[in-house]
Amino acid sequence: MVFARRPRAPLPLWLLSGWLRAWRGLCAPAMAPPRCFALELTDCTLAHFALGAEGSDACPDPRLSELLGPPGRSYSLCVPMAAGDDCGARVHAARVHQSLQHQLRRGPFQRCQLHRLLCYCPGGQAEGVQHGFLLRDPSEGQDTRRALLELLSRCQEAARPHLGEFEADSQGVLWQRAWVLQESRQLQVGCARVLPIPEPPLHPAVPHLLSSAVFRDLDTARAVLETCTSIPEAKAVLDLVDQCPRQVQKGKFPVIVIEGLDATGKTTVTHAVSESLQAVLLYSPPSCIGQWRKIFDDQPTIIKRAFYSLGNYIVASEIAKESTKSPVIVDRFWHSTATYGIATELSGGLQHLPPAHHPVYQWPGDLLKPDLVLLLTVSPEERAQRLRDRGLEQTREEAELEANSVFRQKVEASYRRMENPRCLEVDASPSREEVLQTVLRLIRATFNDS
């Protein structure tokens, strides 16, 4: 079958309804209607649209026309979710999504623009959220389409991303053609109009956060790594977690966590404070699993955040033991795990973060809680200069913090919305000695008042 170039006029409704029935039958339940889409634009805003045969009164969105219409050609690819949306299905879909992202940045796709795309159900339900991409080919090259079909043919049928191709008719109305592969043949199974819709009150991925990036308890994080049998280190992490007692209690000495972005002075401050207070200095993730950070940093967000979450529970058992003998200083803890997970998983800018007091900002009920959390901050310019002065190899998150100001702002805003305990902010721009004295004054004031 050959791809049609572009509809010359709106298609009759009887033909559309027939195509839509075929599409729904072939793609259910993963793409069962109604479905909506959130497309991340270059300015980190989101454009929302749905697919249907009606909607002639819908207000056009010039942003959609610019990305989905001519000149050029755009394609959508969304990773299907298995029925039930269980933990194993989420992990598998995340791996397919990551593999797809890597492949869409290579070969003939390098000249194309890649945008984050989310397919979701209206009304805020967590079920059926599908992550994907919009691929924008500015040259409308035939080899892009062929490369996409070849890419899809290599995917397992059950995990094969859904492919949509956008076109505009002679009146400029946008349509999406849906394609599937059957026995190495491309088959059109739907054609529907692109209908702009209002932005929902909450980012559509927010209901999904507590099962994909910010885990509310040990068992939820543990269930993720239990599905990762292909990673030998996952079993080792689980074995270490099993050796830790559940629901550990803090000792009589204070526990102070120091948080902050990279290059805000955490290492210097934590060492200086631990020496001043004769406190034990601990790290999250702890040294027993820290050697595997690179392995898990290369995994999809859901696996990576499960690793760091379980690391928090391992270090919590160390905190419980050490805080019976002396004060404890912790270099990062749960707040870091949560803020980076939120900023990574949610597309768009600051305005799309969960609102203040949302459950995603609340400390897990089964994790040992510190007495005080200090957040070190410096200006973006100062932090960038410190990173350059360090001259060390950057982690992927460090590189994104430096290159992507919106990502950095989302991390910082999430830190400031954390509750129970909240983060007490400290300006780390002055000299090391001044910052240390400020931190010590806050610590003494906190524990003298308690």
- Residue 52 within any structural domain of the chain: yes
Q: Which residue has the tokens 């080792």?
A: 236
Looking at the fold, whether 360 and 387 belong to one and the same domain comes out as yes
Task: Count other C-beta atoms under 10 Å from residue 42's C-beta.
Answer: 10
Looking at the fold, whether 73 and 187 belong to one and the same domain comes out as yes
Q: What domain range is 407 assigned to? A: 206-449
Looking at the fold, whether 299 and 414 belong to one and the same domain comes out as yes
Looking at the fold, whether 336 and 371 belong to one and the same domain comes out as yes
Cα distance between residue 300 and residue 236, in whole Å: 19
Phi, psi of 46 (to 5 degrees): -120, 135
Structure tokens at 243: 């050796």
Q: Quick one: pLDDT at residue 26?
A: 38
Distances (CA, A) of 25 to 18, 45, 158, 213: 11, 33, 15, 32
Last residue of a domain, one of 196, 219, 249: 196
- Residue 6 within any structural domain of the chain: no
Q: What is the mean pLDDT of each run of 10 residues along the chain (450 residues)?
A: 40 39 38 75 94 66 92 93 74 94 93 95 70 92 84 82 91 88 74 92 92 94 96 97 94 96 89 97 96 96 97 98 98 97 95 96 97 92 73 56 79 96 95 95 86
Cα distance between residue 188 and residue 180, in whole Å: 7
Looking at the fold, whether 69 and 211 belong to one and the same domain comes out as no
Count up the domains in the chain and report the number.
Answer: 2
CATH assignment at residue 339: 3.40.50.300
pTM, 2 dp: 0.87
Last residue of a domain, one of 196, 224, 239: 196
Looking at the fold, whether 285 and 146 belong to one and the same domain comes out as no
- Residue 8 within any structural domain of the chain: no
Cα distance between residue 236 and residue 228, in whole Å: 11
CA-closest candidate to residue 93, choices 115, 109, 77, 114: 77
Cα distance between residue 137 and residue 3, in whole Å: 16
- Residue 248 within any structural domain of the chain: yes
Looking at the fold, whether 275 and 412 belong to one and the same domain comes out as yes
- Residue 7 within any structural domain of the chain: no
Distances (CA, A) of 445 to 273, 374, 441, 448: 15, 13, 6, 5
Looking at the fold, whether 101 and 155 belong to one and the same domain comes out as yes
- Residue 268 within any structural domain of the chain: yes
Cα distance between residue 177 and residue 73, in whole Å: 12
Looking at the fold, whether 389 and 355 belong to one and the same domain comes out as yes
- Residue 4 within any structural domain of the chain: no
Which residues does residue 41 pair with via DSSP β-bridges, in sequence order?
A: none
Cα distance between residue 47 and residue 41, in whole Å: 7
With both helix axes pointing from N to C terminus, report the angle between 380-390 and 396-403 in degrees, rounded to the nearest 10: 140
Looking at the fold, whether 154 and 232 belong to one and the same domain comes out as no
In degrees to the nearest 10, what's the CA dihedral of 443, 446, 449, 450? Answer: -110
> Which residues, other chains included, contact 263 with Cβ-Cβ below 8 Å and sequence gap of 6+?
378, 383, 384, 386, 387, 390, 398
Q: Which contacts of 241-249 are long-range, i.e. CB under 8 A and separated by 24 or more positions? A: 241/310, 241/313, 241/314, 244/313, 244/314, 244/316, 244/317, 245/317, 245/320, 246/218, 246/366, 247/366, 248/316, 248/317, 248/319, 248/320, 248/368, 249/320, 249/368
Cα distance between residue 433 and residue 410, in whole Å: 29
In the chain the first and final C-alpha atoms are separated, in Å, by 75
Q: Quick one: pLDDT at residue 341?
A: 96
What count of Cα atoms within 13 Å lies in the side-chain half-sphere of residue 112?
A: 30
CA geometry: angle 18, 21, 24, nearest 5 deg: 150
Q: Which residue has the tokens 């950095």?
A: 408
Q: Check: CB of residue 266 under 8 Å from CB of residue 373.
A: no
Cα distance between residue 309 and residue 395, in whole Å: 18
Pairing of strands 185-196, 46-52: antiparallel
- Residue 379 within any structural domain of the chain: yes
Q: Quick one: pLDDT at residue 381?
A: 79
Q: Check: CB of residue 334 under 8 Å from CB of residue 308.
A: no
Looking at the fold, whether 283 and 192 belong to one and the same domain comes out as no
Looking at the fold, whether 137 and 217 belong to one and the same domain comes out as no
Last residue of a domain, one of 196, 227, 254: 196
